[in-house]
Structure 1
Amino acid sequence: VIHYPYLSLRRSVEKWSFYWKGPSLIQASYDAAHGKPFILDAPGRRHTLVSTKQHIKDLDNAPKDVLSLQAAAKIMLQPKYTMHSFNWPDKKGLDGAPLTRTLRAFLRHDLGRILPKTRVRNEILLRNMVEESQGRPSISHVFHTLVASTHSLAFFSDDLVNDTEFMDAALDFIFRVIYIAEPLNLLPEFLQPMIGTLVGWMCPSQKVMFDKVRALAQIRLDEREQASRGIKGPEHRDCLQWVIEQTHKLRPWSADKVDPWSAERVTHEMIALWFGAMHSVTSTLNYVIQDLCLHSEYVTPLRMELESAAFKAFEATGEGLPLLESFIKESQRMNPLDLVGTRRLALKPFTFSGGHQVNAGEWVCTPLTPMLKDSAKWAQPNEFNGFRHVSSEILDSLKDRHVYGSIQAERPLPITDIREWQTWGTGKMACPGRFYASAMMKQILGLIITDYDCTMENVNQNRNFSWRTVYIPTTPCITLKQRAH
């Protein structure tokens, strides 16, 4: 009895320390577990972390109403307050999953039409930003601007990319989601509605974005209704239109609710997509450009690849450029955006192979960062090897081949292959937009590598800081100098 207050206080301090000691706690627990599931507690959350192939397969095969990605993301992002009252269901696919097919099939197969268009626009935007800043632009702003321009063309064609009010709000929206959601997750649940409503009202960018996209969605729905009566309208090839078309094809075996989506429902889906596609891609690009500055020996072979016929083949398909792809993949391995991956919230009790049990309300995930730097899988795991993920034939063809280390496997998997790569998620619920995201990153980096020499000041500065289970990249000072062709 005497020791109870002390023990209770100690447990509380240990839980709260997870917020700033997450990396060391997860790494130590991973090392001690030797492949077994292990548990870490944070305020209000208990995490079970699994890392073996069998346990990850268990996680992937769990019913959607038992282990839910939707429910986990809903708590993390607080969309009711950050995405203009979007209250998405805990179970994925309740009213269909048209976005998954849109990204995995339609957008992926349309990259050959989209990429030449985005390259021309982004080349002009990049040149203007470099000239206006006299070669010292904010690299974070550069990437956010180029990625937002690419998204706007891919998601909405030309309808919103030249709307300054929309583009400004869409850029601000990304930061507001994080600034609102994270503090809300620290509050007691009973305070979240009051504080969330107040803070959301004070951040108008989500409303501006919602109103603009909703108006466009309604126009598209009206055009579709007119076309059904024989009145032809303009043809659209973008994500917004593909989502609308897919919601009109819902069937009882693919969704619990089969009614076509309203303009409001379509809009909520699109702005949630916007956040996910912006945050992960811009953060990855931030790390890659830093790695390029820190490892300048890779610049010459990357330029040779980008200036060869391989680039034309890439732009026609969205696939290829193995050297650049390997460099990006190695940067992802060395600088993961999250300490953990494949987050799920248990809506019902679940038992893994081997008997480990997870109770309803607890979280399940994989220890992403330790897995990406595990010496049992990776040779010299803490060393950056930009061409680790190419084939031996490609590596042997390079001049000064000895400079670039050794390959990881004789037949390396592409960056979008998720069988041995957790950065995109796991199995059936892996990111369906990874093919588009990969192509976009290659194109944006290609513009910088071919046209500019990059140098970074203060190369010894911290490249990120951690909060809870997330790594947040710092913004380095990078100079871009126009190359003389």
Structure 2
Amino acid sequence: MSAKFEIYYPMLASKLEQNALAVAGWGMLGAVLFGALFVWSFAVDARMPKLPIAMQEEVPNKKKRIDIFIKDTRRLLIDSYNKFQDQVFGITTTEGTNIIIPLDLLHGLGSQKSLSFSAFLEEEFSMKKYTKVGNLDEKQINIVNRKLNPTLPQYVPVIQELIRRHWPLESFDKPTVTKPWPHVMRLVSRISARVFHSAASADNDHWLDIASEHVHSAVVWTENLKKWPAILRPLVYRFVKGRGYMMQRFEEGKALVAQTLENKKANGGKPLSDPQSLLDYLYESELGPDNVEAHTIAQINLCVAAIQSMAATVTQCLMDLATHPEYAPELIEEIKTVIEKNNGVVDKRVLTEVWKLDSFIKETQRLNPPDLTSFQRKALSDMTLSNGLRIPKGARIVLPTGAINMDREFFEDPQTFDGFRYYRIRTANEEARNTNQMVTVGKKDLTWGYGKHACPGRYIAEVAMKLLVIEFLMRYDIRLPENVKERPKNIEFEGLIIPDPEWELTMKSR
């Protein structure tokens, strides 16, 4: 997978080649548009607060700073965080300047109605008006919290059975090199399909292909579109490479969702499986039985939110297990002990009591989260921070999570992977027993966001990821290949961290 994407624009090119009149016409249009772009950019910059900009002194050229943001966000955030300390500062991104706020300004912002995560997501990453990819709305998020999350104890045996029935790897009598990413991705796609869509969709390879491929194609297409100035995107989006395939996959997914809705109608509107899926809850409430488009968009948005991040975290855990095999014996012993105490049954209680595994996954998330920033918000109106700094409407603010996670004030020896870091904290302090968990949200626990918009799906992710890591741990001894001496590097671009799909591990059946 590459962070470099090419723009293919044949229709416009052919028009430009037709005749001199066309060239002149497009040239005049371009001059007008770029003139408007200049005025628009100046107006936006004029409203931004005066802030120190990361690496502006070292790299005065804005284009070069954008290139650093794309290719080396981690270093950019850490160096700037250490330089500016508790100051607000800006970083130059492909979409303009993001305002980086320190932790001490976070209090009270989590419930600010004038700050929107959805608006940030749809502008910075998904371009929803073109891709249909975005965030769930407030009513849908409430349904996840009130209806779906309470059923997770019922889902534990269902997800475990699904994992085992579709286990993609063989038994290995001798150390065997394999690439974990495609297998993990498929398993996570199945789990997501079962929880969000239906039991039938979890066994439907066509739906699973769409669920994963639409996300990937939308990301690729969005990166292509973002190479165009925002003011030109409404004119060029139809011609940017990848749109046809992306929309084709959406329509294929829509047909499958329509079939699920028809099956529910034929069943008297009753759930098609037990426990019922999120689609069942949406059918019974906000979206109803006939809005196929809205149901499909909701399913795609759920895929975006769940599949890539869960698959990435599980794969990162496997890489940490391979890099630090000394943790496996204690993790396995804990898992066996907790299951035996529970009469051999794996349920929600077991997943809650495997504290060492919980700590291991949380440490993986600290060092290699899916995103190096969190609390990503767009201002829907002018507002003022607690330090008096005025934030204009349209500005984007984020927390530099990747840098905070490397802060010695919060973490002892932060550069070092310490799989039982949080286990020790929880066992040493009675007050910390119910905090410092992988689903905890707080000022030092930012992987899942912060405030009322913290990820509602983190409890689903906890169940799925723990069950998957347990399955790998109990089945295989996991190591780095003989010719690999240290943990391989991630693919990192624009603050996103992605496991390299070509990563290899050596596995041997226990």
| Distance apart, 1:103 and its partner CA | 2.5
The aligned runs of 1:119-268 (5 Å cut-off) are 119-128=160-169, 135-193=176-234, 195-198=236-239, 199-203=242-246, 204-220=248-264, 222=265, 237-247=276-286, 262-268=291-297
Which of 437, 452, 464 is equivalent to 1:414? 437
Q: Does 1:61 align with 2:61?
A: no
1:433 paired with 2:457, answer yes
8 Å contact from structure 1 (residues 82, 176) kept in 2: no
For 2:107, the aligned partner's letter is K
Shift of the 71–290 alpha-carbon distance from structure 1 to 2, 3 Å rule, reads: same
Evaluate the alpha carbon distance shift between residue 410 and residue 416 of structure 1 in structure 2; reply closer, same or farther with a 3 A threshold. Answer: closer
Partner of 1:398: none
- Per-residue CA deviations over 1:310-345 (Å, capped at 9, x if unaligned) read 485762445331110000001111112222111111
What residue identity is the alignment partner of 2:160?
A: R
- The separation in 2 between residues aligned to 1:307 and 1:157, in whole angstroms, is 31
Equivalent residues of 1:340, 1:368 under 8 A apart: yes
Q: Which residue of 363, 366, 371 corresponds with 1:333?
A: 366
1:277 aligns with 2:306: yes
Go from structure 1 to structure 2 and tell me whether the alpha carbon gap of 1:378 and 1:271 turns closer, same or farther (over 3 Å shift). same
Cα separation, partners in 2 of 1:407 and 1:478, compared to 1, 3 Å: farther
- Tell me the equivalent position of 1:72: 120
Are the counterparts in 2 of residues 147 and 278 from structure 1 also a CA contact under 8 Å? Answer: yes
Q: Does 1:479 align with 2:472?
A: no
> Match of 1:355?
388
CA deviations over 1:111-136 (Å, ceiling 9, x no partner):
222221221231243254667x9944
Deviation at 1:165, TM superposition (A): 1.7
Please identify, of 304-313 and 159-168, the stretch whose mean Cα deviation from structure 2 is larger.
304-313
Change (3 A) 1:129 1:272: farther
Distance in 1, matches of 2:271 and 2:494, equals 50
Q: CA 1:333–1:449 in structure 2 vs 1: closer, same or farther (change >3 Å)?
A: same
Shift of 1:148: 1.0
What is the aligned partner in structure 2 of residue 111 from structure 1? 152
Q: Which AA in structure 1 matches 2:365?
A: Q
For the residue of structure 2 that corresponds to 1:480, the secondary structure is strand
Give the C-alpha shift of residue 243 in structure 1.
Answer: 1.9
| Alignment counterpart, residue 373 of structure 1, candidates 394, 406, 416 | 406
Counterpart AA for 2:283: I
The equivalent residue for 1:403 is none
2: distance between equivalents of 1:137 and 1:413? 33
Contact 1:293 1:454 survives alignment (8 Å): yes
Q: Give the alignment's Cα RMSD to 1 decimal.
A: 3.1
Distance (Å, rounded) in 1 between the aligned partners of 2:290 and 2:387: 42
> Across the two proteins, how many residue pairs are aligned to each other?
440
Give the Cα–Cα distance (whole angstroms) in 1 for the partners of residues 282 and 412 of structure 2. Answer: 43
Name 1:466's counterpart in structure 2.
Answer: 492
Question: What's the counterpart of residue 28 of structure 1?
Answer: 79
1:110 counterpart letter in structure 2: T
- Which letter maps to 1:468? E
After superposing the two structures, state which structure 1 stretch, 427-436 or 144-153, moved more.
Answer: 144-153
Q: Which residue of 2 aligns with 1:251?
A: none
Could you tell me how far apart the structure 1 residues matched to 2:192 and 2:331 are? 25
Amino acid at match of 2:318: I
**Aligned counterparts of 1:186 and 1:146: Cα–Cα separation in 2:** 33
Structure 2 contact 190–202 (Cα < 8 Å) conserved:
yes
Q: Provide the C-alpha distance between the structure 2 equivalents of 1:474 and 1:128, rounded to a whole number of angstroms.
A: 19
Equivalent positions of 1:11-22 (< 5 A) are 11-22=62-73
Classify the secondary structure of the residue corresponding to 2:285.
Answer: helix
Provide the secondary structure at the position in 2 that maps to 1:59. coil
| Unmatched 5+ stretches in structure 1 | 1-6, 249-258, 396-405
Match of 1:463, SS state, is coil
Aligned partner letter, 2:210: A
Distance 1:443 1:118 in 2: 8
- Show the counterpart of 1:52: 103
CA contact (8 A) 2:374 2:446 kept: yes
Please identify, of 369-378 and 43-52, the stretch whose mean Cα deviation from structure 2 is larger: 43-52
Change (3 A) 1:307 1:277: same
For 2:408 and 2:465, the matched residues in 1 are separated by: 28
Q: Structure 2: how far apart are the matches of 1:197 and 1:30?
A: 39
Deviation at 1:29, TM superposition (A): 1.8
* SS at structure 1 position matched to 2:166: helix
Unmatched 5+ residue regions in structure 2?
1-56
Counterpart code for 2:153: G
**Residues 351 and 357 in structure 1, CA contact (< 8 A), matched pair in contact too:** yes
Distance 1:472 1:17, change over 3 A: same
Asked if 2 retains the 8 angstrom alpha-carbon contact of 1:347 and 1:361, the reply is: yes
- Equivalent residue in structure 2 for 1:308, among 301, 320, 337: 337
Q: C-alpha displacement at 1:394, in angstroms? A: 5.4
Asked if the contact 2:157/2:346 (under 8 Å) is kept, the reply is: no
CA gap 1:451/1:176 in 2 versus in 1, 3 angstroms: same
CA contact (8 A) 1:389 1:407 kept: no
Deviation at 1:392, TM superposition (A): 6.3
Question: Structure 1 pair 407/319, CA: closer, same or farther in 2 (3 Å)?
Answer: closer
Contact 2:355/2:423 (8 A) holds in 1: yes
Could you tell me which residue of structure 1 aligns to residue 30 of structure 2? none
Post-superposition shift, 1:363?
0.9
C-alpha distance in 2, partners of 1:25/1:391? 31
Kept in 2: contact 1:38–1:48 (CA 8 A) = yes
Q: Which residue of 1 aligns with 2:18?
A: none
TM-score by length of 2: 0.78
Q: 1:309 to 1:407 in 2, by over 3 A?
A: closer
Flag the 1:239–1:462 CA change in 2: closer, same or farther, 3 A.
same
Alpha carbons 1:210, 1:271 under 8 Å: kept: no
Hey, what does 1:82 align to over in structure 2?
A: 131
SS in 1 for 2:110: helix
Whole-Å separation in 1 of the counterparts to 2:198 and 2:153? 15
Deviation at 1:297, TM superposition (A): 1.0
Task: Give distance in 1, aligned partners of 2:434 and 2:348.
Answer: 24
Structure 1 375/265 Cα, relative in aligned 2: closer, same or farther at 3 Å?
A: same
Distance 1:316 1:10, change over 3 A: closer
Matching of residue 293 in structure 1 with residue 322 in structure 2:
yes
Residue 462 of structure 1: how far off its partner (Å): 3.7
Amino acid at match of 1:263: V
| CA gap 1:9/1:128 in 2 versus in 1, 3 angstroms | closer
